[in-house]
Amino acid sequence: MGNGWSDFWAAKPTDYLPLPLRRESIPDSPDLRQLSWQHKRRTLLGYLLATVLCAFAAVGAVSSTLALSGQIKLVPHYSKAQLLDAGWLRPPLALEEWSPSSITDDERPLARLSTHDFTLPPTTSTTSLNLLILTPLHNAADRLPNLFSKLDAFTHPRINTSLGFIVSDSTDDTGDVLREMVDQRRENYREVTLLHKDFNIENPGGKSRHQLWAQGQRRTVLAKARTTLLMSTLRADVDWVLWLDSDVWEVSSSLFEDLLLYGNTGVTRAGPEELVDADEVWSDVVAANVFTRKKDGSLQAYDLNNWAENSDSLRRQNELTDDTLLVEGNKKLDMHRDRLVTLHTPPNNVTGPIPPASSFPWLREENWEENDMYDPESPAYVGQRVEIDGVGGVATLVRADAHRLGAVFPSWLERHELETEGFGVMAKKVGAKVVGLPNYVVIHGECSSCSLASSLADPFSLLPANNG
């Protein structure tokens, strides 16, 4: 890549072959679209031919032939050279014969033995939980110092915290900066995994990446990056996975403990006998509510991917074709879902911008007892939660077993959704309970995205800080 990657990686990461591309279910990718003019012409001719055949079928001319041709699905046809150039296929490998007799007994390696009993409770204390924090990176060199300052401040013991990063299609020195950051801290953490996987696709930057025309490609690539990172780092003894965006700007140091406690995952302050909502099914996926700050300190909605279906949205989806991609916030395909960002209730008696909440009193702002953010009877209570269907990836906690049971980040359409929203759909399919915390706020720091809502649709939510 010319950015120091050859010295960065001790071993070349595994490359992955794509699933077969089907135009009726997978959004087009511009890089493949550049290769597919001949296919489009063939497809058009194929459809015209099918129309002619159907006309003959109407008069009974070739009914037996049409019965068969009606079952054929058109799939893109690319040459091997085209797939190699697009980065979708690896070059052939040489087959070599290997004999175990060539290895002496002294050189024969001892297999690493790993055991884990999933039938046993993981621990009796949150400090003993094994946490895996995963972050996909793309042109993130300037954001990494801020990200690691947040990681350094987390209250969960580092000896039980593992980190995982994947760098994809970056044109800056993200890899070198990442290695420098990791080298300064590597001995402090349980395990750190660095992955490099290019998908050979140029993602649009700025506001353009939020437009509908770019979302199909961008989120397909991001889904593959997330799933690659997950499958490469999820060990058997990991209890929870925290997906954390590199752009988080304001977040509590107790983020992990907060999501565990306020998300009702089976964690309590005083002991199991005083567990809040003990009769309720424990949550498996907990999403924070993500905003950006305006210059005056007020909150503006950012992450629209945390949403819940309702009767109106389900009715509207029944009118869509199976290959329709939904991007929450797009005005032309608005399903009228219930968005988590619209359910936020600002607390009373807060002077200035609303501070990040925390389950630990010593991390809260001064005079926190005077506002109702921590009052369970208040609508502004930080522990308010609602069941949701789609989730975002800025600050989302996932019980590791939900991933193990098959909930990944689909690069194909799952009920019209891709990537994190598709993960929410898959998580519920495997039986996970997915909740969002409308009053637990995380601030996203990408200033260029402050007008995200207006770039996708009409501005729908400007939530001012309560200065009362």
Enter the pTM of the model.
0.75
In the predicted structure, residue 302 carries a pLDDT above the cut 50: yes
Out of 102-106, 198-202, 240-244, 384-388, pick the least confident. 102-106
Structure-block tokens of residue 365: 């702002």
What's the CATH number where 263 sits? 3.90.550.10
Q: What's the number of domains the chain is made of?
A: 2
| pLDDT tens digits along 24-81 | 333 444 444 443 444 455 555 666 766 656 555 444 433 333 233 333 333 445 566 7
Same domain, 49 and 191: no
Measured from the Cβ of residue 183, the count of other Cβ atoms closer than 10 Å reads 10
Instruction: Tell me what the mean pLDDT of segment 320-343 comes to.
Output: 86
Domain annotation covers residue 12: no
Domain presence at residue 244: yes
Are 244 and 143 in contact by the 8 Å Cβ rule? The answer is no
402 sits in which H/E element:
helix 400-404
Q: Are residues 326 and 260 in the same domain?
A: yes
pLDDT at 447: 46
Residue ranges of the alpha helices (H) in 4-100?
A: 5-8, 30-33, 37-58, 63-69, 80-85
For residue 112, tell me if it sits in a domain. no
Sort strands 299-301 and 285-293 into parallel, antiparallel or unpaired.
Answer: antiparallel
Range of the structural domain that residue 412 is part of? 126-463
CA 412/CA 216 separation, integer angstroms? 10
DSSP state letters, 314-346: HHHHTTS-TTPPP-TT-GGG----EEGGGG--P
- Between 353 and 451, the higher pLDDT residue: 353
386 and 319 belong to one structural domain = yes
Q: Which two tokens stand for residue 181?
A: 């950051």
- The predicted-structure confidence for 426-448, as pLDDT tens digits, reads as follows 999 999 999 999 999 999 985 43
% residues pLDDT > 70 (the chain): 67
Q: Which of 100-104, 249-253, 289-293, 383-387 has the lowest mean pLDDT?
A: 100-104
pLDDT digits (tens, 9 = 90+) for 235-266: 999 999 999 999 999 999 999 999 999 999 98
329 in the same domain as 233:
yes
Report the share of the chain in percent with pLDDT over 90. 41
Residue 21 covered by a domain: no
The number of beta carbons lying within 10 Å of the beta carbon of residue 444 is: 24
Q: Evaluate if residue 10 carries a pLDDT over 80.
A: no
